[in-house]
Amino acid sequence: MKLALVGCTGLVGREMIEVLEERNIKPTEFIPVASARSVGKEIHLHGQSYKVVSMEDAIALAPDFALFSAGGSTSKEFAPKFADVGTTVIDNSSAWRMDPNVKLVVPEVNGNLLTEDDKIIANPNCSTIQLVVALNPLHKKYGIKRLVISTYQSFTGTGAKAVKQYEAEAKGESLPETEMAYNYPIYENCLPHCDIFLDNDYTKEEMKLVHETRKIMSAPQIQITATAVRVPVHGGHSESVNIEFNNAFDVQDIKKLLNEEEGVILQDDIQNFKYPMPRYARKKDEVFVGRVRRDESIENGLNMWIVADNLRKGAATNAVQILQHLS
């Protein structure tokens, strides 16, 4: 396998390298790709050193696969150029997610849709990935009518600039406004503002949860509303999810379905205070689910708490799993 990694020096790019090593994926040729200022730098994979190359040089090498984590505009420009030379692009940006001709894939949910003809494949938004992994087995059995989602999302999801802001604030240091990722402090604060605000007063992140969930689960009929909040947490994203099913359910059966689902770890032992927390999801590839309980205010209602490392299953791991599914 000839593998390119576009955006190899970024937060997700570095995480992808870790996942490739942990899963013992050894390409016959590895091509790290980054912006012009990083060309010539060294990247390490499985103990070997590789020089970062330009986008144009990588395209000329016609890799079999390219993992993209370099932003939407970069993906829009260069993913089709890689596809034109026969490369299968697995893109982590939002550029292609809602394109009707591009598959939006979480392997545990809809990996069966992938074919060799798919030359650009979209990796979903981090908060959507962990959500659908947990919801899919429940929807298949009971049918989901409506979702109310509140997210508690790590600042790491915003990128290196946010990490720098958090670390500076934690030390009591101030940064110039141009170097801040957020309008307000993130240290010891919560910001009900993930991504930009849209015309309907929701943020782009909130609407990603709506549109991407429906697309991945092939369920345009599900009614979804979301509030996305950025929190001063390093380990991952958490979600409080209220579900209204079409059909009556048994809570113990819900737990059994979750416990048996690939990629899910059920942590639901309140007698011993065991429930998912982002601190303990960090560097893990699974989706953790707990606080599973009936919503007594509506018929066929359920509450649960979903946690995952946003840089792993929410980004790097899911992309690598797509790669494994195809290769």
What are the pLDDT digits (tens) for 71-102? 899 999 999 999 999 999 999 999 999 999 99
The CATH number that applies at residue 266 is 3.30.360.10
Quote the pLDDT of residue 235.
79
Question: Of residues 8, 139, 194, 237, which has the active-site annotation?
Answer: 237
Question: Of residues 8, 44, 126, 234, which has the active-site annotation?
Answer: 126
DSSP 199-258: TTS-BHHHHHHHHHHHHHTT-TT-EEEEEEEEES-SS-EEEEEEEEESS---HHHHHHHH
Domain span including residue 111: 2-124+315-326
The reply to whether 88 and 37 lie within a common domain is yes
- Respond yes or no: is residue 126 known to be catalytic: yes
The reply to whether 186 and 289 lie within a common domain is yes
Query: Distance between CA atoms of 129 and 304, rounded to whole angstroms?
Result: 16
Q: Which of 287, 319, 278, 321 is nearest to 134 (CA)?
A: 287
Instruction: Give yes or no for residue 313 having a pLDDT over 90.
Output: yes
Dump pLDDT digits (tens) for 264-278. Answer: 999 999 999 999 999
Instruction: Give yes or no for residue 300 having a pLDDT over 90.
Output: yes
Quote the pLDDT of residue 15.
95
Dump pLDDT digits (tens) for 133-170. Answer: 999 999 999 999 999 999 999 999 998 899 999 999 99
In the numeric block, which tokens belong to residue 170? 């934690």
Quote the pLDDT of residue 36.
86
Quote the pLDDT of residue 327.
85
Quote the pLDDT of residue 71.
87
The reply to whether 92 and 206 lie within a common domain is no
**Distance, CA of 35 to chain centre:** 23
The reply to whether 158 and 288 lie within a common domain is yes
Look at the chain and report how many structural domains it folds into: 2
- End-to-end CA distance of the chain: give it in Å, rounded: 8
pTM for this model (two decimals): 0.95
Q: How many CA atoms lie within 13 A of 120 on its CB side?
A: 23
